[in-house]
Structure formats: C-alpha cells, structure tokens
Structure 1
Amino acid sequence: MEIKVSFKDISNEDKIYKNLYDGKWVESNSDKLIEIKSPINGELLGKVQSMSKEEVDLAIKNSKEAQKLWAEVPINRRAAILYRAAEILEQNANELAEMLVLEIAKDKRGAIAEVYRTIDYIKFTADSAKQLEGETIPGDSFPGTKKNKISFVTRVPLGVVLAISPFNYPVNLAASKIAPALAAGNAVFFKPPTQGSISGLYLAEIFNKAGLPDGVLNTVTGRGSEIGDYCVTHPDIDFINFTGSTEVGKRISNITTMKPVLLELGGKDAAIVLEDADLDEAADNIVAGGYSYSGQRCTAVKRILVMDSVADELVAKVKTKVAKLEVGDPREEGTVVGPLINGKACDFVMELIEDAKEKGAELVIGGNREGNIVYPTLFDKVDTNMRLAWEEPFGPVLPVIRVKSIDEAIGIANESSYGLQSSVFTKNIDAAFYIANKLEVGTVQVNNKPERGPDHFPFLGVKASGMGTQGIRYSIEAMSRPKAIVLNLGAVE
C-alpha cells in the first residue's frame, strides 16, 4: 500500500515544523524559532523550534521508557519495520529530493542519489540485522578449564542513542545512524542539523509511518551551541553517534565521560599521483572527487600530491575538466558547483584562496566569488607554508603540491592532523601497496577518488578525522554490546 508523506504532516499552517515526541508531532512550549532559508536565494522555507532543556529531558525520558519494550521486539519484526520505511521513502523520494535541493543547495542529481542511497542503506541494514548471530564458547578450549562450562554470547542494545547528522547529507547520514541503532534494539534521540532540519524531520516521519512504536524515535531541534552540550552529557544518553566538524567532535569527546561515541569528522584527503598513472583517469577522479556538491564533503579530494615530472600534464588535464563544470543554480539540470551552505563558509574559503595568492601559489583557474557561489578553483605550486596545504576548505578549491619522490608524498600526506582517506593513482601494484601501508588514514583508494561506501565496507577516520568504525554491520555492532551467559553444568567426575 502506498503511503504519501507530506511536509504539512509535520508542520503547522505557518510552516513551523514540529518535533516527533512519543509518536506524535508536537509544538514546543518555547517561543524561540529558527528560520530555515534556502542558500540558493534566501527564500524562507520554514521555521524550526528551539527546544528547551526541560523538553529535552521529557523526550529523552520517553525514549528510555520506549527502548525497554523495543529491545524485546524480535529482530525479524524490527527488520520488517525497516523494510517498510525504505518502501515509504521510495514512494516519496522525489518530494524529499526537491527539499534537499532547496534546503542545502544540493544539485538535483546529487539529491535524488542521496535519497536512493538511503533506501538501499535501510534495506541492507534490515538484511544485516537478521544475519547477526550469537555464539557458544566451550570452556575447555582455554587451558586448565574443565568441560562443565559453556558461554552463550548474544548482542544486546546499549539503550538510547543520540544521533546527530550534518548539513551536507541530512538524510543519508541520519539514516546511517538511525537504522543500525534501531536494528540493534536501541531507541534513537535524533538531532538533525539546523540547516537540513526540515529534510531530517521528514525522514523521521518516514520511520514513524513505517510503524515504529511510539517513543522509539524522538527528535530535537535547536542550535547545537544552545542545547548540544546538554544533550551529549545527558545521563540517560547511552551512545553518541555524531557526524560534523572536527572542532565539535573534539568537544564531544572532551566533555563526555564513560560514554561510548562514534565520531565522523573532517578530512584533508590527498590524491597521490605517480609518474606511471593514467593521467586521464586520475584527472577524472580528482575533478569528480574535489568539486561535486561544491566540495562540501568530508571525503572530497582536498589536495593533489603529484610527481613533478607529470605535474604539468596533470594540471592541464584537470584545468580543462574544471573549466567545463556547470556553475550556478542547483535547481538547473547539470549544475555541479552551486552556492555554499552560507556566507560564513564562503568567507572561509576565500580566506584560504587569498592566503595562497599572497604566498605565491599559481592560480590556474577560478578564485572568484559571486554571492554564496565560489567558482571552482585550482592552484598549482602550493607549498607547505600555505594554509591551503593543511586546512579543510569544505568548498570547491584544490591545491596542487609537487613532490619529487614517493616518500616525500607520504610524508606530506601524513603530516596532516587529519586521517580520513587518501587516493593513490598508479599502474604499479607494489607501489600502491607500499604507499597504502604507510599512509595514516582509515581507507586508501587505489585508482579511485576517496568516497564513502559501498556502505557495507568499513568507513573510519584516524587522528582528527574521527573515532570508531562505521559501515552497516560495524555500526550495528558499535551500538550494541556482547552479553555472556555462562552455563555451569556441574562437576564432571
């Protein structure tokens, strides 16, 4: 049966978006509202409520009570609800994709891709949950232990998961927290990003319509600067799953005590290009990886480390491809680079661009700004004294750093405080593995751009890029724990 979900279901006639509490959409007692305007043209899309600490307390208490019953629901029934959520999301994919375009200025192709990737993610989570099995461990496999002990090991939920998603993937990176948490038997207290709240709340209604018991998924809206610390340190939150900036991630790590966290933070992903690389393939991947969604991705290519002997040729190829990128309104077909999420983000990118210019980098293409659009920018001959070599722009600008050896490339790559992903372009498998083994990152892509997924692969960052491992099975395991019951059979004569 087809179920239609409307944005009117979760807002009032004044386009004030409510919060999901105990299975119903309710208005806050607070009169503080946050305007959500489109980065494209400043159009007011609606307002979200800034919930009070008292309302947060009530919602978390409700989540904790609901979780006790949800933990008793068999996995096959939890999976059935996830399958139903994926089905409803597919039935309403276009409406949600249209809001993504308006709310976060994602291009049309990228918006619909995000929704359909989320559908697949939820389905695969349901599949994976049904395949998780416990184990029995005989005691006598350990030296000195008799045969009268058997350990039955199962996985149990942690309790209430606080899920905090980012603006750039407010649907996919919300579902990647919510679905595994629910599959493991947790309740979820979901805080969408401020810019991205409307899309995130719509996703919550998808799960609600799929038949989740009341209170198993509650939402909270408000600025992280006002209620963020309160939520992450709340005594009834049992796990924190956060995607966002390294600055906020470090704060969460510092202020939480004896509370498990899964943090997906920033990156400064390097594309290392060797002399024998297929330069056309490398250029294609670098441009796709560096400029799609205006570079606003943690896994975007953020610097190119290329052997000096092939640097001129690679730069020329990248420049040609960058010049062909469509820039403008993301509502128009074919647009790749559109407005950044806000003016502050643009200001920061332009700071990095100006610093590179002042310190002698060679501007190959771009470097200009119109409103909240920063044109796709490529710098050559960037050196390690420039901010662009180290800082994450989260915008459409790429530095080329020329190197003379593999070990020099590895050294510069590893000097970064980040460690999310890197790419290596070469036809030499021995060189690829040598570099991959030396790089201090979570994942190394050989002859491909950095990317998240496929979603059943492990996804992780080291150093300032995060803590813990994601990926569907890994996420379910992170938000559950082993529990052992030891059966003592009596003395054996």
Structure 2
Amino acid sequence: MEKDTRERIIRESVALAETWQNRGNELLTTPEKRFQNRMRRLLTHPFDKVIMTQLIDQSFRAKQTRRVADQMGYVFEKWGIPHFFSPLEQLLSHVFVYLGKLFSMISIPIFIEQLRRESRRVILPGDAGKLFLHLKKRTEEGVRMNINHLGEAVLGEAEARFRLDQYISDLKSPDIDYISVKISTICSQINTLAFDHTVDIVKTRLTELFSVARKNPCKLPDGRMQSKFVNLDMEEYRDLEITAKAFMDTLDQEMFLDFSAGIVLQAYVPDSYNMQQTITAWARKRIENGHAPIKIRIVKGANMEMEKIESSLFNWPLAPYDNKLSVDANYKKMVAFGMRPENIRAAHLGIASHNLFELAFAYNLAKDRHVAEFVSFEMLEGMADHIRRAIQETSNTMLLYAPVASKDQFISAIAYLIRRLDENTAKDNFLRYAPGMTTTSEEWRFLRTQFENACKAMETVSTASHRIRSRENEKDDDTDTGSTFVSNAFVNEPDTDWALKSSRKWAESIRERWQMDSNANIVSIPLVVAGKEIHKGRETRIYKDPSRYTEDIRVASFTLADETDIRKAAETARKDPDQWRSTRLVERHEKLSRVASNIRKMRGDLIGSAAAGTGKTFRESDPEVSEAIDFCEFYPWSLKFFEGYTHLHLKGKGVGLVISPWNFPIAIPCGGIVAALAAGNTVILKPATAAVLPAWILCNCFWEAGISKNTLQFLPLSGEHLGNQLTGHPDVDFIIFTGGTETALSILKMRPDIHFAGETGGKNTTIVTAMADRDQAIKNVIHSAFSNCGQKCSATSLLILEKEVYEDPHFKKQLVDAAKSYQTGSVWAFENLMGPLIQPPSGDLKRAISTLEPDEEWALPPKNVAGNPYLYTPSIKWNVSPGSYTHITEFFGPVLSVMKADSLSHAISLANQTGYGLTAGLESLDEREHAFWKQRIRAGNLYINRGTTGAIVLRQPFGGMGKSAIGAGIKAGGMNYALQFTSKKELAPPVTGAVQTNDPQVVLLSHIRRHLETNTLLKFKEDFEKMSYAVKSYVFYWETEFSKEKDYFHLRGQDNFIRYVSLGRILIRVHEEDSLFDILARIVAAKITGGGAVISLPTEISTPAVDFLFSEEGRKFRGTIDISRQSDDDLVKIIHQFQSVRYAGNERVSHKILETAAQQGLYISRDKVFMDGRIELLQYLREQSICVNYHRYGNLGERITEFE
C-alpha cells in the first residue's frame, strides 16, 4: 500500500470510528447501559474476574445442591462478594453465605439459573423454540447468524459422531443457514504426527457436512437460493495446517467445485499470513477454472492464554506474537492482502472484530479498492450490540457469531465464557474500554494511537514462524546450545513439535530407516567388555519387530554374556584402567555434556530402534530422548552444588551396576549410567534383553563422547543364574535397578549388604471427585492408563470414582468412548496411539484380560488386533471390589480398573491399600480437597488435574514409597540422586548461616555446653563440639531446605513443588562403638524432622555414651523418644514396625539384620553420621513431587499477577 493512500485511509478510518462510536452511544438502550455499568465495576475491581471465573467454573460440577452450595460458600468466604454484582445480587449473595447452605435445594437452582440468564447475552439457549425466535428477530434486523454449537469435550468417536449429526441437523433446519465447525468436534483423534491420516478423516466428515449444506439451500433476502454456509473455526496453533489442508482437499473434490465454504485465520499467529497466501492462491485457481469462491474470516485470535501455557510447559517458542502491536499490524497486513481485487474475488473476507478502528480500516480500504461487495463485518452475539446497530447504518453486511448451548449442556460453555472474560478484560483489548467510552476520553486516544502505530508497522511486521526447530539439522549441529557445562544453567530439553512439517518429514525418514523388510541387513550387537567388542563365541538372540509379528521381521541380533564375561567386566570395572574415578567433576561434566550433544544427534535412531525393538510409538519415545539429554546435563550440574561444600570430600563408591528395564529403553538406562559416572564411578550396564538395541545405540553416544569402553561396559545377559553371578559379584559396589518389586527383593536377598537404589512397580490410582472437571479427568486418565500400552510404572491402573461420578452414566459412556477410540496397532502407522505389548500377555496381565473377578463386569472388554499376540486394545473393568485381586495387583498392561468410593476420604483409603506408592492423581477443582488428599495419600509423585505419567527431570523428580521403592528412595531426576553414589568424608565442621536461636535443640545444646567445663561431661567435650556444629547445621537446613516446598521452574499454569516428608518411625540402633555424637546427632535429627523414633540398645551394652542417655542431660536430649533393649535376634522380630533403621556405620550392622531387612524391603541407613545437615537429614526424610495444573483453559485466576 502506498504511503499516501495508507495515511489517507488511516485518517478516514479514525473519523469513521468516531462516527460509529458516537452513534453507538446514542443508540444505547437502558439494559445495555446497566450492563456497561456492571462491566465498569468489574474493570474497576479486576479481582472480581477471579471470583466470577471460579463461580462459573465450579458451580456446575457436582450434581448435589448441598455440595454446590458448600463450594459457592467457600468461594464467597475466601474472596468476598464481587463488587460488580448489583445491590440486589450482593444482598442475595450475603444471604446465601449465611443461609444458602441450609436451604440449598432452593437457593442453588435459583443461583444457577441466574448465571444462565446472565450468560444469555453471549450464549444463546439451545432450546429450539427460544433459539429460532432469536434467529428470526436477528433476521428482521438485517443480521445473518453464524451458529456455533458449544458442547462437551470430544474425547471419543461416538461423541464426534453425535456432534457431526448435530451439525447436520442444524444444516437441515430452515431457520439456520450458517454454521461454524471446529475440526476437534468432528474428529476425536486429531494427531499432528499422523497428518495425512487425520486430514483424510476430517475430509471425510467435512464431505458429509458440505453435502448436506449443498442439498439444503436457503433463500437470500433478494430471493436467490444459495447453499448453506459452513465455516471452519481455527483453534490452537497446532491445528492450523491440518484445518487448512482438510478444507482445501475437501473442496477440491469435483462435487464441491461450485460450493463455497469458509475458514478462519488468526492474525496473532505470524504463520497465518503465509497460510492466507497459500489458500488465496489455491482459491484463485478455482476461480480461474470457473468454480466457486471461498471465504476467509480474519480474527485476532482467542486462544492466547492456552498458547502461553503450551509454550511454557513444553519449552517451545510462543507460537503467536507476544505483543499487541505485531498482532494488530499483521491483522491489517492480512486485510490489505486479502482486499487486493485479484485476491478477494476468489477469497471473500469476513472482518471479525469489535475494534472500531479495525472495522473502519477494512470498510475504507474495501471502498477504496471497490471490493466492498466481497466483504462482511462480523461480531460476537451480545457484545457491544449498540455498536453493531451503528455500523449497520453504514454497512448492511453484518454477521453475528453466536455460540449456542442447551440447558443440560451449559457446563460445556464454561470454557467459552472464561475465554471471553479473559479476552474482554485484557489490558490492550478494545472491549475492555468500551463501557462508557466516548471519543473525547483518554481511553479513546490510547486506542487511536494504538491503531495508528499498528498501521505504520503493517509493512514491516515479521510473518516468519516462531516455531522453526528442525530435528533434521540437529544431526550436524555441534553447538553447545543447552549445555550446562557451558551455560551453568539447567533448562529442560524440548520434545519434538509434531505440528511442524519439518518434524513430520523427519519422522518419516526415521520410519524409512527402521521399518525393515525381510531382506534387510539386521544390526549385529556385540558385548563390550574390558574395552573390546565381543561378537563371536557366545550365544546370540534375534530381535523381531513386535508390530509385525506375523511377518517375522528380524531387526537385530545381540550377543549374550557368559560367566567369563561377567568376571572380566567386574574385574575391569574395579581396576578402572582409564582412571575415570580419578577425574575431576569438571572433566566428567564436560564429557557428559558431550554425551547429551550426541544423543541430540541420535534422537531419530533412538526413537526408531525403540519402535523396531520394543514396539514403542514415536510419541512415547521422543520424550524419553529429551529426558535422557536432561539426565546428561543435569546430574553433573547437580553435583557442582555439593562440590561447593568445601568441608566435604566426595568420591565415587566404586563400581556401579545399572539394570535397566524394557519399558523405558532410552531414558532409564541413560539416567542410571549418567548418575553413576557423574559421581565418579565405573559402570556396567545390563539392559533388559527386550531392549538391547536402543541401549546399544545409547552407549555409543557415551563412547563417542570420550568415555571409554573400560569405564562403561555393555553386558546383555539372560537367565537367573548369570543374573545372580553379576548382581552377586563382590566387585559390584552398588546397583541401580528399575523393574519389578519381586525381582528387586530377590537381588537384595542375595546381596543384603549392597547399596541398592531400586525404582519398582506401582498400582497407581487416580481419584475423581464430584468437584472434578469430568471431561478433563477422562482425557487425563485415558492417557495415563493406556499410553505405551499401560506399560509404565507410573500408569494409572486404578480409577477410583466418588459415588456421584461412579453413578453418572454419562461419565461412564464418555470414558468408554474415549478408551474405545484410542487407536491400537503397528507403531509404523502414526495414527496408532498404542502399539504392541513387549510380549504376549502372561501371568497377572493374562488373568486380568481374560478373567473377571467376583462382582466385576467389562465396561470395555479387551480385543486382540489382527491376530497379533502382542496387540490388544484398551479394556476397562467396572465395579472392582475392595481388597480383590484386581484392586491390589499390578498388571502392567492396557487394563483400567474402576472402583466406587463413598467419599474422598474413602477413596484415599482404597488407594493406600495397594501397598504401592509410586504415582497418584486427583481430579478436583476444590483446593480444599487438594490439601486433604496431599496430606493423606501415600505416593512419591502426586498429580492434580493432570495425568500421572510423564515426569520431567527436576520438575517432577521421580520415585515412590512403599513397595514402589527399594532402598533409600531418593528420586531420580532430583538434586540428591547422583549424590547417593558418592562416598562422603567430612574434612572440617560445616559452615552454616544464621539459625533461630530459640530452637529447642539449639537452646538445649547451649545449656549443656555452659556446664561442660564444670561437671562430668568434660570427657564428651569433643562430641559436644561436633554436636554444636551439627545442631546448627541441622536446624539451618531444616529451616532453609527441608521444611520448604521448592519450585525450580515457576511455569505458567503449572506448579511443580518438591517437598520433604518424614519417613515415619525410625529405629536408631546403637552399637558399642558409637560415640556420644553418633547417638545424639541421630536423636536430634529425628526430632527435628519430626517422624518419631525409638532408640534400640543391644541387650548387654554399657558404654559411657549409652550411660549418658539415662542421665538428666541425656533425658533432656531424648525428650519423648523411648529407649528399648534388643538383641539382634529380638530386633529382627520387630524391625518391620519401622520405616527405616539408622545405624552409625556400615560395619556396625550385623548380617542377620541386613538379611531380614532385605527380605522385607526395609531400608537400613548405615552411612556414618554427619555434622552437615544437608547430608544427614536426608536419612530421615523422603522426597515428594507435587505437580498441579492450576490454570483453567489458560486462565490463571489470582495467579495472573505472577506473570505480568
């Protein structure tokens, strides 16, 4: 656009906008003035929006009026009565707070009806009679209506079919001639990775819709007949390409060459301008060939808050512009491009905005270019109706976008209401200033300047995509991006963005390499022992692709170790010929960051090998690779924190054995290897025999980074005998194990003295209360239960529903529909969300899918797919009985078991009865229920309003309690994990900051030290000197570290807290060699951490240190802690009563005690007692991760100020 022309149009647009605004103010009706006054009060008291959002979001969840009344009362009591309520509404609200709960049967229906009534301004009633009366009224006003049916989340194909039929019914109605459709409402399984497949499904369903629209023409005001109009709404950024491709492909069919339809493009996404060019060029070819035009509706975009959430959680660039100027400039750029005469005849424009300057700009530009006949103005129903009437006096082409919701579907309108409330109160939004605005006000001048600045920027605004990361280019990328060694800052590695065309092309290249045929040369995998690869003279196994079982496709062969290899590997690891254990942390950090770089380059082959070897889908393996990279960057970085403790000397424990599972064949072996190497140990990796292929590729990333094949040895083996030879070898100093609980216990029974870090199984639960967003709950549960075939130790296996939810037939119907629609099949078909099992069902899983226990029924029975014994569809068991086999048994497969609970308290009790404690989920919008659940549920990783799978390094360090953790239970991916594989020696007393001098332990120690020189305590002077440092250090770290919840990331919309909770009752076992410091330090540590303890003395022991415990000063130290006496024989009989036993040295624990503890999976803490509280207090605490999705459809509520 020429500068002179642009400036003239700007002037004319400002003048026209003023005319419309002034005329609109003249046309204001009394009800509209009341509404504007209400909105002014809302904007004057912005916190009212928080209250209103919570009332809208939470008042429709529970069905029982008493429960609704309780929730509403809580919201009012917490935040107060909104200022923007009318005086009468405020009075009624105060009456409700005091009396409403007593008369909830009367008050709640009245309140809910009032909310519905207030929303009718923007959401039309779905009742046919009322809707058609409103449509008729609008027609008489010269307004065309674009109907958008709001409904519940489309989670399954049955609901998608229902919504499609609803659209068809609308198109057949003589009263409706224009509808808007979101592709997510007609296709429940939109999959950006399976792009072509998804487009084909959407195309099929649009074909059905367009056919109905064509066969049911409507009469225009001038008497002409025209096909009804279908407009495709745009949703999130990831939907852009799929929606556009499906739109064009559908209209390219011969039957629709003369049919017109529309599509929305969002100006806040820079990519939209380029997509507009693509669609317009395609539309021009249609016109050139004598066919029908199409329509592009240009909007600013209404999903910004969710786009920000996605960007924050996935560490991706924000897809939309991050500033209002660029959004407005791109809007005008798109309008100007679309209004070129050669373009607009092919792609008519809908100018959708409430900003009078935008509408005036479009009006004047269209008039200037003589294309006004191809332009319509579009606004939202119920928003600034007086302005709409003013504009109609100038232009008679007005269309209103009208959301519709029936009374029983009103809950489905909540997301729309919240999004509109956010949009209309955003600080730069025109509608924010609309109530009472005049053309002489400061607000008007601000908006005019905003418009003029955007006009100046329209030629220069960038339309380059913000999401441009190319996985293909990473293969050759040698930069240090993301390296903690270079930056000294840890940031989680982003997963692949499958919405990008380059990512999908990259995925196809992986498939081409790894989807082998019967003639392909298979990968030959050797052992790596003592620096050498061993291919020959050993037993070998063949890998077959489980997705293509019937085709007998061979993928790889691998060599199995024998007893000689085991001895040689252990001997080499002990000797450490390349001196890894002598390297400094900085050297280890540099090499492990190089490993991370290699893994980035090998992401594709790691994904491909996991698919070919273990049947894991690309979507599931890709986050694993990110996690592996995170481990490489994080663990050495975390140890730098402890290296700063100059009073401590850390060195590796010696030889670490990493035993990794098949279900996470990339991340878990990588995490174990890196933690052990970072701590300064040599490592032997024994991968699961079902996952040798990805483990082999992974190890090559280490070796190519300069970590020798003596330092990291690769030892696949099979069989219990050889496994025992390896785990029982005396040169192995510690074992990092991930796998079944029984396997872990069997290893411990054989090596009860070994340092064992075991992450074991889980019978994980998700509890859904009556206060849950039930659509969200189903979406989260389905993914948690069936991703990776339910073969995750974190998978939701048990769904516990509060009675109201359990008895809700619609919830059950939706749950089954969602599970039934979860596509299962070959991993090479990207539309499949669930691939093959690692092996045909056997044992507990076989019983689970073939047998119903008493009282159970199939809500969704399992089905075998295509005769492949590895492929089974999701299944759901209903009415599982408390204490039954199904209730307490881990199945490790695609089986979801559903139980009923009378209350949240009952549900928690059922969850805790399993004996496991790995992950747990809660679906509820009531923060009181959050607090109640967090206090009582026994699990290591807690998730609120999100799925129970997908823990991310340092965000949600991973590990459980109970039968889900064998050993110290220190969480993988957390600050303490690598530390446990070091030997620690105190070189000097710890240095700490200030502590509370009135702390009871500090006061007591000060009292005793004052009398130290004058009584019999003099002989313990050294002990009390050490205690002085220890108590201060313990109190300091309790106050600053262990009693605090920490969130290292502060993500938008999601809290990730790491906290420490008491282990519970601890047995402090005294030995005759224990010094007084050894005894008192453990007592003080137990008291500070608050879990309760008992002091256990050998039967005949009598030492000065023990005698002190019975003195007056000793009793003061003990407080309420009891003392008992037991021989080791007696101790083994009561040891199960405690959560942990704390000894003061490894050599002080008898073999009998170790054996008994190993049989029970009880942790014996036997490091020496440290003065340093950061180290010592870890022995009395367990870590717990809590992840909470607190946003609602992107809305942050009262937390918004944290991000402004």
Q: Please report the TM-score for the alignment, with normalisation by the length of structure 2.
A: 0.37
Greater shift after overlay, 187-196 or 43-52?
43-52
Q: Give the CA RMSD over aligned residues.
A: 2.3
Q: After superposition, where does 1:446-465 map in structure 2 within 5 Å?
A: 446-456=944-954, 457-465=956-964
Q: 1:320 to 1:344 in 2, by over 3 A?
A: closer
Residue 484 in 1 paired to residue 1025 in 2?
Answer: no
Is residue 529–residue 713 contact of structure 2 (8 Å, CA) maintained in 1?
Answer: yes
Greater shift after overlay, 402-411 or 314-323?
314-323
Structure 2 CA distance, aligned partners of 1:48 and 1:291? 30
Following superposition, the deviation at residue 84 of structure 1 comes to: 0.9
Following superposition, the deviation at residue 260 of structure 1 comes to: 0.6
Q: After superposition, where does 1:292-441 map in structure 2 within 5 Å?
A: 292-311=787-806, 312=808, 313-345=810-842, 348-356=844-852, 359-370=854-865, 371-384=869-882, 386-441=884-939
Greater shift after overlay, 90-99 or 316-325?
316-325
| Equivalent position to 1:241, from 736, 741, 744 | 736
Structure 2 CA distance, aligned partners of 1:186 and 1:80? 16
Is residue 290–residue 398 contact of structure 1 (8 Å, CA) maintained in 2?
Answer: yes
Structure 1 CA distance, aligned partners of 2:694 and 2:555? 11
Structure possessing the higher radius of gyration over alpha carbons = 2
Following superposition, the deviation at residue 350 of structure 1 comes to: 3.6
Greater shift after overlay, 456-465 or 421-430?
456-465
Following superposition, the deviation at residue 201 of structure 1 comes to: 1.4
| Equivalent position to 2:778, from 265, 270, 283 | 283
Following superposition, the deviation at residue 458 of structure 1 comes to: 3.2
Residue 17 in 1 paired to residue 525 in 2?
Answer: yes
Following superposition, the deviation at residue 349 of structure 1 comes to: 2.5
Is residue 315–residue 380 contact of structure 1 (8 Å, CA) maintained in 2?
Answer: no
Instruction: Name the aligned partner's letter for residue 594 of structure 2.
Output: R
Instruction: Name the aligned partner's letter for residue 212 of structure 1.
Output: I
| Equivalent position to 1:264, from 755, 759, 780 | 759
Following superposition, the deviation at residue 28 of structure 1 comes to: 5.2
Secondary structure at the residue paired with 2:547? coil
Residue equivalent to 1:82: 592
Following superposition, the deviation at residue 287 of structure 1 comes to: 0.5
Residue 165 in 1 paired to residue 667 in 2?
Answer: no
Residue 470 in 1 paired to residue 971 in 2?
Answer: yes
Q: After superposition, where does 1:46-85 map in structure 2 within 5 Å?
A: 46-66=556-576, 69-85=579-595
Structure 2 CA distance, aligned partners of 1:355 and 1:322? 19
Instruction: Name the aligned partner's letter for residue 41 of structure 1.
Output: R
CA distances 1:143-179 after superposition (whole Å, capped 9, x unpaired) = xxxxxxxxx2122211110001000111100011011
Q: After superposition, where does 1:117-136 map in structure 2 within 5 Å?
A: 117-135=627-645
Is residue 369–residue 375 contact of structure 1 (8 Å, CA) maintained in 2?
Answer: yes
Which structure is higher in RCO with an 8 Å CA cutoff and minimum separation 6? Answer: 1
Structure 2 CA distance, aligned partners of 1:479 and 1:369? 44
Structure 2 CA distance, aligned partners of 1:361 and 1:476? 45
Secondary structure at the residue paired with 1:337? coil
Is residue 355–residue 386 contact of structure 1 (8 Å, CA) maintained in 2?
Answer: no
Q: 1:205 to 1:478 in 2, by over 3 A?
A: same
Q: After superposition, where does 1:223-234 map in structure 2 within 5 Å?
A: 223-234=718-729
Structure 2 CA distance, aligned partners of 1:14 and 1:353? 34
Following superposition, the deviation at residue 113 of structure 1 comes to: 2.6
Structure 1 CA distance, aligned partners of 2:768 and 2:760? 25
Structure 1 CA distance, aligned partners of 2:765 and 2:787? 16
Structure 1 CA distance, aligned partners of 2:749 and 2:861? 39
Structure 2 CA distance, aligned partners of 1:85 and 1:301? 33
Q: 1:243 to 1:28 in 2, by over 3 A?
A: farther
Is residue 530–residue 568 contact of structure 2 (8 Å, CA) maintained in 1?
Answer: no
Greater shift after overlay, 322-331 or 359-368?
359-368
Q: 1:353 to 1:15 in 2, by over 3 A?
A: closer
CA distances 1:448-486 after superposition (whole Å, capped 9, x unpaired) = 222352212432222211122123332211211321224
Residue equivalent to 2:276: none
Is residue 844–residue 890 contact of structure 2 (8 Å, CA) maintained in 1?
Answer: no
CA distances 1:239-296 after superposition (whole Å, capped 9, x unpaired) = 1000011120111121113211000111000101111111111111100100101100
Is residue 15–residue 47 contact of structure 1 (8 Å, CA) maintained in 2?
Answer: yes
Residue equivalent to 1:144: none
Following superposition, the deviation at residue 27 of structure 1 comes to: 2.6
Following superposition, the deviation at residue 420 of structure 1 comes to: 1.0
Q: After superposition, where does 1:26-37 map in structure 2 within 5 Å?
A: 26-27=534-535, 29-30=537-538, 32-37=539-544
Secondary structure at the residue paired with 1:418? coil
Structure 2 CA distance, aligned partners of 1:84 and 1:23? 20
Secondary structure at the residue paired with 2:598? helix
Structure 1 CA distance, aligned partners of 2:651 and 2:626? 30
Secondary structure at the residue paired with 2:935? helix
Following superposition, the deviation at residue 191 of structure 1 comes to: 0.4
Structure 2 CA distance, aligned partners of 1:317 and 1:126? 46
Following superposition, the deviation at residue 385 of structure 1 comes to: 5.5
Instruction: Name the aligned partner's letter for residue 589 of structure 2.
Output: A
| Equivalent position to 1:95, from 590, 605, 608 | 605
Structure 2 CA distance, aligned partners of 1:396 and 1:290? 7
Q: 1:60 to 1:2 in 2, by over 3 A?
A: farther
Secondary structure at the residue paired with 2:943? strand
Instruction: Name the aligned partner's letter for residue 931 of structure 2.
Output: F
Is residue 86–residue 123 contact of structure 1 (8 Å, CA) maintained in 2?
Answer: yes
CA distances 1:122-142 after superposition (whole Å, capped 9, x unpaired) = 122243233332435xxxxxx
Structure 1 unaligned residues grouped into runs of 5+: 8-12, 137-151
Q: After superposition, where does 1:124-203 map in structure 2 within 5 Å?
A: 124-135=634-645, 152-203=647-698
Structure 2 unaligned residues grouped into runs of 5+: 1-474, 479-512, 515-520, 990-1021, 1023-1204
CA distances 1:307-341 after superposition (whole Å, capped 9, x unpaired) = 11122243222222112211111111121122111
Structure 2 CA distance, aligned partners of 1:3 and 1:18? 29
Following superposition, the deviation at residue 68 of structure 1 comes to: 7.8
Structure 2 CA distance, aligned partners of 1:55 and 1:28? 12
Following superposition, the deviation at residue 96 of structure 1 comes to: 1.9
Following superposition, the deviation at residue 46 of structure 1 comes to: 2.1
Greater shift after overlay, 333-342 or 232-241?
333-342
Structure 2 CA distance, aligned partners of 1:125 and 1:284? 33
Is residue 86–residue 119 contact of structure 1 (8 Å, CA) maintained in 2?
Answer: yes
Structure 2 CA distance, aligned partners of 1:126 and 1:485? 22
Q: 1:185 to 1:3 in 2, by over 3 A?
A: farther
Structure 2 CA distance, aligned partners of 1:265 and 1:450? 16
Instruction: Name the aligned partner's letter for residue 836 of structure 2.
Output: P
Instruction: Name the aligned partner's letter for residue 25 of structure 1.
Output: E
Following superposition, the deviation at residue 399 of structure 1 comes to: 1.1
Instruction: Name the aligned partner's letter for residue 627 of structure 2.
Output: R
Following superposition, the deviation at residue 15 of structure 1 comes to: 4.2
Percent identity of the aligned residues?
24
Structure 2 CA distance, aligned partners of 1:353 and 1:110? 23
| Equivalent position to 2:622, from 112, 116, 129 | 112
Q: Please report the TM-score for the alignment, with normalisation by the length of structure 1.
A: 0.89
Is residue 67–residue 186 contact of structure 1 (8 Å, CA) maintained in 2?
Answer: no
Secondary structure at the residue paired with 1:178? helix
Instruction: Name the aligned partner's letter for residue 159 of structure 1.
Output: G
Is residue 840–residue 870 contact of structure 2 (8 Å, CA) maintained in 1?
Answer: yes
